Structure formats: structure tokens, C-alpha cells
Chains A and B, each alone.
Chain A
């Protein structure tokens, strides 16, 4: 596609529900990142994929968070048993370069705003 696409744009969940957030990166992009942006804050790193391999999940806040990219393209971020503190915008970004490349340029999606009631 022309850009990074994320869906849904808004998601309201009741506390305890499971949610799945989708990211469709630019076609052919090797790297895919997930960031969490709390209200009034800058984003915080969650996880990184190079193709289908999840090379870094150090930013995932708990074992309720799980991400996958099984075919090296679309990625899904799943949050189990959602809590109010999970309320945030979840941003996805992709790049045509591996993350180790210093000339990488990231392309961001418009995020999914998750509200947990």
C-alpha cells in the first residue's frame, strides 16, 4: 500500500477483554516496530520485527502483551485481559532497512487509540 495502515482506528474495550490491533506495513518493508503512546507523552518502544522474526520484545510491559508477524508482512499486537493502564495509542512503524542500519527512515501509521473502561 501507499503507507502504513493500522486498524481499527479506535477500540473501546471493557476491562478484562482481549483485543487485537493490526498493522499493515508498506509492502516489502523489512522492519516493523510497535510503540505505545500514553496520553500527553511521547511513544515508548514495545517490540521489533525483522521480517517474521521478533528480534526484540524488551518493551512489552507484561506477558499480557503479545505480537506476531507470521509471514513477514502484516503484524498483530494482542493484549489479553486488558487493564485501564493499557489505554493508549498504539503506533506501528515500518522501514525498508534492517533496524541496525543507520540510514533507516521510519514510516508511521496513524495508530490505534485503545480505551479500556
Chain B
């Protein structure tokens, strides 16, 4: 069975600095998708970034980028120029090409220090 592990329960960063959140996963599939979602106190999950496993190029969305290491089954999220509004829970999620169910990590709480 697929699993997703986020080993950092909490991370803190100074405003305007860069932070990296870690995620590892386990799967025997070759085609799959990885996601980072942000969950603010409003509880609404918001998609931050998505990566297709068949793409070697790392996905980027403005200040958010990933480091996707397929062989190592690692999928970290880098947030540059951290802003107060980035404070939230961040969840890593996995979806295989053959199953639409999202498999989620336990989340990392990101604190931004002003």
C-alpha cells in the first residue's frame, strides 16, 4: 500500500526567508501524481503545487517550487520569500494514475516569524 510521510510536525521561518518542507512516499507504481496542499485555519484545502511523476522537471508556482527525486521517493516543497500569509498546515499527498483516492501525509505546521 502507498504511504506518505512528513517527518516535520512543525517548522518555523523568519519572514522573507526560505523554508523547505520534507515529504517521502512509498509506492510500487511508476505513474503517479504528487501534491502539496495548504490548509489555513479556515480548514479549506488549497492546492499549492502539483507534480507528475513522468516529468523530470520540477514544478514551480511563483514562490513555491518542489524538489522531486523519483528514485529516492522524495518530494520536498521550497517556499521562497516567506510571507505571513504562508502560515498554515501543509500536506503532501499522493495519487496513483490508476486510483483517484488521495493518500495524505500527517502535515507540517508552518510558522512565519515577523
Residues of A within 8 A of B (CB): 35, 40-45, 48, 56, 59, 89, 91, 93, 99-100, 102, 104-106, 108-111, 113
In the assembled complex, the CB of B54 is this many whole angstroms from the nearest CB of chain A, namely 10
Size of the B side of the interface (Cβ < 8 Å), in residues, is 19
B100 touches A110 (CB 8 A): no
B4 touches A42 (CB 8 A): yes
List 5 extra interface pairs beyond A43-B45, A102-B33, CB under 8 A: A41-B107, A42-B91, A99-B100, A105-B47, A108-B45
Of the residues A59, A105, A108, contact of B101 by C-beta under 8 Å: A59
Cα-based distance from A40 to B106 in the complex (angstroms): 7
Using Cβ atoms and an 8 Å threshold, which residues of chain A touch B4?
A: 42
In the assembled complex, the CB of B47 is this many whole angstroms from the nearest CB of chain A, namely 7
Residues of B within 8 A of A (CB): 4, 33, 42-47, 52, 91, 93, 97, 100-102, 104-107
User: Main SS of chain A's interface residues?
Assistant: loop
Q: Pull 22 A–B residue pairs with CB atoms less than 8 Å apart, ordered by A.
A: A35-B102, A40-B106, A41-B104, A41-B106, A41-B107, A42-B91, A42-B105, A42-B106, A43-B102, A48-B101, A99-B100, A102-B52, A102-B97, A104-B100, A105-B47, A106-B47, A106-B102, A108-B45, A109-B44, A110-B42, A111-B43, A113-B43
Cα-based distance from A89 to B39 in the complex (angstroms): 12
Using Cβ atoms and an 8 Å threshold, which residues of chain A touch B107?
A: 40-42
Cα-based distance from A43 to B97 in the complex (angstroms): 19
Using Cβ atoms and an 8 Å threshold, which residues of chain A touch B43?
A: 89, 91, 110-111, 113
> Which residue of A is nearest B104, CB measured?
A42
